[in-house]
A and B are shown apart, each in its own frame.
Chain A
Amino acid sequence: MADLAIKPPLAELNPPLVEGNHSYSTVTHTVSGIVERKTPKQWFIAISISGAITLMMLGMIGYLFLNGVGVWGNNSPVGWAWDITNFVFWIGIGHAGTLISAILFLFRQKWRTSINRAAEAMTLFAVACALLFPLIHVGRPWRAYWMFPIPNTDLNMWQNFRSPLLWDVFAVSTYGTVSALFWYVGLLPDLATLRDRARTRIRQLVYGVLSLGWRGSARAWRHYEMAYLILAGLSTPLVLSVHTIVSFDFAVSIIPGWHTTIFPPYFVAGAIFSGFAMVVTLMVIFRYAFQLEDLVTIKHLENMNIVMLATGSIVGYAYATELFIAWYSGNMYEKFAFLNRTTGPYWWAYWTMVSCNVISPQFFWFKKLRRNIPFMFVISIFVNIGMWFERFVIIVTSLHRDFLPSSWGYFRPTFVDVCTFIGTLGFFTTLFLLFVRFLPMIAISEVKGVMPAPGASERGQH
């Protein structure tokens, strides 16, 4: 990749991105090995559990379709609750993947190479989970396709482009599509590797077809790199726009607690925050499970923790700003909304959010802690929980008490709410397990690109 040449001197001081005594072929072997080795029994155990949970989710959705949204706890005034909370939560998770693959790429952060593949996969699966909710939360799911500008024979009507929800449809579907393309383009050379290493006919066929006949010709590489650069360039504003537009769903409305201009940056920071937490959670598990400590080094994890520290602090700052503005605005509805958030019936949700999102990442100021794997794992879980609560707090506590006290209400989830959300966790895990089983979870060719050419130094290459 182009970045080999203009590698900043700083990188020399950095610890190596690949530890242990690795050659190109050992890298190839370590990564492809995971896919080629005989399936470990733990994998089967894991996927049967997550698969069962996924089935439960499907059951819940079926039950929902048969009876209506009333099987959830949603009510009037709380028209959106866990459904949209989960949607925003999953979309947020997705952002880390794109950030790592696109933004860090543009910033020439070479440490990204060994985690971007898995992170991008995570993005796709998170977006898949997220996309579920806009589709199933509507009262008449069989009409959900009306949100897309398909000429409609029933009524010959079009969509309302003033609606942030419609912007959302475009943003999220675009995001999903582009992430998939980006991910696939990145996969091409590695699929070729698997094809070339394939022993069984079936593998040869499958990976042969998937790799589209990639041969690593220099003439192909230059178009490839250009495409990759462009995709990175496009994904960067895209990923920022997606959560900005998701935040418009709230910011553009008039409900106190939603109607705030701070939302776009606040949401994007939160998304990256939660996304990195999820990447850490997954990476800690899988680098251990598949002995990838050399490729996904403590350095990688530390960097991600630093990003969490930064974004977590931004989020905390956003919370503080919200409260200040609510008080400073002198708007009685705004004031009440935030007083109600912090001290009202949902105070426990608000303070769970604050302690998980603002306090817990602060431990990463200490190098010891941010390099301590069990510790960072726990923190990353906390952050995931906290970020879910952030969305819950924003949505439910703003809705349940708005302008007219006569219509104030209280939201309680039903077992369908709970099981549906747990179900998405199973769905996400299932997809990820399939990914690590059948696709290289580390970008082989990219790793080779950033590792010192073995015994090549005297040829003055590096």
Chain B
Amino acid sequence: MDLVQISNQKKPTGAGKHYWRSVNELDGTAKLEGWLDQEFPAGPVNDSSRRQVLKLMGASFGLAGLVACRRPEEKIMPLSKGVEDLVPGKPLLYNSVFVHAGAAAGVRVTTHDGRPTKIEGNPDHPYSEGKATGLAQGALLNLYDPDRSKQVSEKGNESSWEKFGAFAKTHFDGVGNGDGLRFLSQRVVSPTLTSVREQALKKWPGAKWVEWEPVNNDNALAGAQLAFGNVVEAHYHLDQADVIVALDSDFLNLDSPTVLPARQFTRKRKVTEPGDAIARLYAVESQFSATGATADHRLRLRAGAIAAFTADLAALVGVGESKTLSGEKERKFLAALAKDLKANEGRSVVVAGPRQPAEVHALAHAINQTLGNCGKTVTFTQALAEPMLDGLKALAADLSGGKVSTLVMLGGNPAHDAPADLDLAGGIGKAQTSIHLAHNANETSALATWHLPEAHYLESWGDARALDGTVSIQQPMILPLYGGRSALEVVAQLAGLPSAKGHDLVRGFWQGQWPAADRERVWRKALHDGVVANTKFAEAKVTAKAPAAGAKAPGTGYDVAFHPSSSLWDGRYANNAWMQETPEPMSKLVWDNAAMVSPATLKALGATQGDVISITVGGKSIEAPVMVQPGHADQAISISLGYGRKNAGRVGDGVGVNAYPIRTTAGLHIAEAQVAKTAKTHKLVTTQEHFRMEDRPIIREATTAQYKEDPKFAEKMSEMPPIDSIYGYHSYEQGYQWGMAIDLNACTGCNACLVACQAENNVPTVGKAQVSRGREMHWIRLDRYYTGTGDEAQSVSQPMTCQQCETAPCESVCPVAATTHSPEGLNDMAYNRCIGTRYCANNCPYKVRRFNFLNWHKEDEEVQSLVHNPNVTVRMRGIMEKCTYCVQRIQEKKIQAKVEGRREIKDGEIVTACQQTCPADAIVFGNIKDPGSRVAKLRHQERNYELLAELNTKPRTTYLAKLRNPNPELA
């Protein structure tokens, strides 16, 4: 029995379908709304990203049933054993694949009654290992974006897929050999789409297919081309390296794919006892990145000066002739670094970031080869694709030359995010017919003749090749909410292939690849595992030739560096409230981007934080608020892309500054700019306003040497007065005693846990205005502190969530006993008992309690409630909430154990949402009374300490002190 039957049984009638085609038509809703408005009328205090709780609760009851009929009708393979024992309300897990800017990562999707509610990493996928980045998890919310484009439109007028089909038939028969036909897609890593593309191009030999991603790895590919003569993909094995040099590379957070490097790196940083050696990381960068924050040595250098630095480094390790372009300050650093690298030949690696020019990449390869790292800490395979910028340039030329009659744009937002000097927006208008497929009717759709709604990846069939070649099948979890179609399906339709159904295309393609005998088995296994066996590329043997002397001394103006936003990437998540409210890991900035500068530069500009400055590159200029970033390179500005959208939707419109207008083909990543202060100011809002530790022992840190000397340094850092209770203590000996240990030495502050918690626990978003009042709701936050001076600052980050104190100060003060202690040591919150005195929050020394000051769900549309986890209450206004150690997950496993007739829950069986997704495995949860449990072992490490132990709160969450491994010569 398969899902077809299931869904048929459950399908309530057409009503469900009708409901889904247009959300507002369900007449019941109108009544509900009316009633709600009496109950909670809107007031001026509301702002755009609030959600409407009662509406949502009402809706989700109804929807649970309704969405059942949304299950895909093709056969897909649930991970759980067979669908026969499907229990309504019991989640099903499916493996699929999430493609992000050309990098595929396997995901495991949790669906409740056919609603995808949570994204986790697929443990079997090499680029996930069970973990997912904040972006990968947050992308889920786009599925339920109420602003998604809901129908086909022609020249802005309503149309339909049928009408489009008819048009396409006649039109594309008429394009002859396709001289005037151009395809513009995002990076294609789908083997099926690749084959469909080939068929299309065979049909129209004159046609051209161009790919564009505003944030891409062209430089890396070009660098490989320079170094090895052919385009290869470099794969770094950081877990093999003792010395790592990151040249403007934020491999721990920004430079996708980040999960794998983060895992490899942190594996090398974990220690169990003082003796253990840990890798040493050098970071040379302009903006302060998460990687720089983790580094043992960080050199702040203008993005434009890093090429020179690399040349010097290369010379010092014996590549090319020495030019010593770098300044005095860098020399000492260079010498020590070179020495350290030479001392670790074969066990070191130099990684260049995607924003650095090809020359730097080439030099890095050369250095690695000279140090004998190639084949050890860095290996190579064939690349998935060629650099894409030239293609786009050609397209732009053809467009302006009027050579293009039909332009098919598959996804993306080229009119908005293509290099400004190409003026693609203008070009698109020149094409007689332009077709644009997109999730949202965005800036580009406005210019296109036809706009087609695109299916979300959770709605459509597909496949994707990871950077190492591993193929995963993309399974849909839910039928397209708004009848969207995937790029694959559209191209197939245009090319007039026999079937334009994603399932048939993907299945058909792969069946063709496998021996007829066990096709079915391989297919089912591929779906089940989320990876297709033996599809990895073979290692490529390459040798780097001495690089051409390209590096030159940096210019004298300001460097402006463009990097993707850690929240909105290139802008594609602009309408995603989760991501908008996810703080930028270093500055904690939300709902905005800003021109990041060093304190010195701020002074030089005569500006103060929030002043608006104008940044001019080659005549074009933008105005952006300036924000001070300790540790940022002087005479340099970093600004993240993806903000300042005009057509994103109710959440993303007009948030932040659009940096694309000054991003040209010449300076795609780094450009020289003129900067001037304007009279305007702009209010920047952060989730953390104070970044000094005030000499308090909050995040405890030592060097490996100090650690060896005094293993118990962490405990000794807080002065413990003799404390006791007049009552004596409650004993927590019976049964499970839950606890958590967080290894600050592993945490990179990447926010993955924050988004995981948001999705798992239905944490609402509140919007900029409310965050500015300090009302953000995140149950887990990452506290960022700067140490050292403003310029040469170091930075540490600490995940902060409810500490589940055994003598919880919050409990004692609640007049109505709404927060009490469970026998298993959990600090429980009884939402329906809470009356909201906020006394508990006042008395919480860790300030982890979150209060629903207003009804955050007021403006929800029904579709937005589909994302909620049915196992977690959605909290109404006026009550307190906080981390529960994911009590719903604990209970689920306890019930499961009971059902299976087991006595004990195995260690590691229960994983909290934050722990589950942490790429660094920094968070460990378990039974602290079980000496064999991982958490107990960690708590027994000497580095273990309780935060604010002097208050006698007896927290169940403890921290393991951070370690740095500085180079003695630089100390």
Chain A interface (Cβ < 8 Å from any Cβ of B): 63, 66-71, 73-80, 137-140, 143-144, 146-147, 154-155, 157-160, 162-166, 169, 249, 252-255, 332-333, 336, 399, 401-410
Contact = CB atoms under 8 A, between A and B. Distances in A.
Interface string B808-843: 010111111100000000000010111111110111
B851 A147 contact: no
Contacts of B696: 332-333, 403-405
B851 A139 contact: yes
Which of A63, A76, A155, A169 is the most central at the interface, judged by chain B CB atoms within 10 Å of its CB?
A76
A75 to B, nearest CB: 4
A172 to B, nearest CB: 12
B784 A406 contact: yes
B41 A66 contact: yes
Given A76-B849, A406-B785, A406-B800, A163 B841 contact: no
Nearest to A253: B843
Contacts of B834: 139-140
B316 to A, nearest CB: 40
B850 interface: yes
Which of A138, A160, A254, A404 is the most central at the interface, judged by chain B CB atoms within 10 Å of its CB?
A404
A409 B774 contact: yes
B836 A139 contact: yes
A249 B813 CA distance: 8
Given A66-B40, A408-B690, 16 more contacts: A68-B853, A68-B878, A69-B838, A69-B853, A70-B773, A71-B45, A73-B773, A74-B838, A79-B839, A79-B851, A138-B878, A159-B816, A160-B817, A403-B948, A404-B845, A405-B696
Given A140-B878, A146-B816, A402-B847, A253 B809 contact: yes
Contacts of B838: 69, 74, 79-80, 137, 139
A253 B841 CA distance: 11
A140 B836 contact: yes
17 contacts: A74-B853, A77-B841, A138-B878, A140-B834, A140-B878, A143-B835, A158-B817, A163-B812, A254-B845, A254-B951, A255-B845, A403-B948, A405-B691, A406-B688, A406-B798, A408-B690, A409-B689
Contact of A160 (B40, B800, B814): B814
Contacts of A76: 774-775, 841, 847, 849-851
Given A403-B845, A406-B690, A162 B812 contact: yes
Contacts of A332: 695-696
A252 B813 CA distance: 9
Nearest to B876: A140
Contacts of B773: 70, 73, 75
Contacts of B845: 254-255, 402-404
Contacts of B852: 68, 139
Given A77-B847, A253-B843, A409-B689, A146 B835 contact: yes
Interface of B: 40-41, 43, 45, 688-696, 698, 770, 773-775, 781, 783-785, 798, 800, 809, 811-817, 830, 832-839, 841-843, 845-847, 849-855, 877-880, 948, 951
Contact of B841 (A79, A138, A146, A164): A79
B45 A70 contact: yes
A171 to B, nearest CB: 12
A164 B849 CA distance: 19
Contacts of B814: 160, 163, 165
A80 B843 CA distance: 11
A253 B842 contact: yes
Contacts of A249: 839
Nearest to B696: A332
B688 A254 contact: no
A405 B690 contact: yes
B40 A75 contact: no
B774 A166 contact: no
Given A138-B878, A254-B951, A406 B837 contact: no
Contact of A77 (B43, B774, B785, B948): B774
Contacts of A403: 696, 845-847, 948, 951
Contacts of B849: 76
Q: Determine the main DSSP class of A at the interface with B.
A: loop
Contacts of A74: 838, 853
Contact of B783 (A78, A164, A404): A404
Nearest to B819: A160
B846 A404 contact: yes
Contacts of B832: 154-155
A70 B856 CA distance: 10
A165 B833 contact: no
Contacts of A401: 690
B815 A70 contact: no
A66 B693 CA distance: 40
Given A157-B817, A160-B817, A404-B800, A137 B847 contact: no
Contact of B842 (A71, A157, A336, A399): A399
B843 A254 contact: yes
Ranked nearest first, the 9 interchain pairs of A and B with the lowest CB-CB distance are A139-B836, A139-B878, A70-B853, A79-B838, A407-B847, A70-B854, A406-B783, A75-B774, A160-B817
B543 to A, nearest CB: 50
Which of A137, A403, A409 is the most central at the interface, judged by chain B CB atoms within 10 Å of its CB?
A403
A425 B694 CA distance: 41
A333 B877 CA distance: 33
Nearest to B42: A67
A139 B879 contact: yes
A135 B352 CA distance: 61
Contacts of B812: 160, 162-163, 252
A406 B43 contact: no
Contact of B694 (A70, A79, A252, A405): A405
B114 to A, nearest CB: 34
Contact of B833 (A67, A157, A254): A157
A253 B836 contact: no
Contacts of A71: 43, 45, 854
A138 B851 CA distance: 11
B56 to A, nearest CB: 16
B816 A160 contact: yes
Which of A70, A78, A254 is the most central at the interface, judged by chain B CB atoms within 10 Å of its CB?
A70
Given A80-B842, A406-B688, A165 B837 contact: yes
Contacts of A166: 815
A138 B833 CA distance: 12
A407 to B, nearest CB: 4
A95 to B, nearest CB: 23
A254 to B, nearest CB: 5
B22 to A, nearest CB: 30
A333 B951 CA distance: 11
Contacts of B692: 405
A73 B773 CA distance: 8
A78 B839 CA distance: 10
Which of A71, A163, A406, A408 is the most central at the interface, judged by chain B CB atoms within 10 Å of its CB?
A406
A458 B813 CA distance: 66
Contact of A138 (B774, B798, B830, B835): B835
B409 to A, nearest CB: 43
A255 B45 contact: no
Contacts of A63: 43
Which of A140, A159, A399 is the most central at the interface, judged by chain B CB atoms within 10 Å of its CB?
A140
Contacts of A169: 815
Contacts of A409: 689, 774
A67 B815 contact: no
Given A405-B690, A406-B785, A66 B774 contact: no
Given A76-B849, A80-B842, A253-B842, A144 B835 contact: yes
A281 B193 CA distance: 84
Nearest to B41: A66
Contact of A139 (B43, B783, B835, B843): B835
Contacts of B816: 146-147, 157, 159-160
Contacts of A160: 811-812, 814-817
Contacts of A399: 842
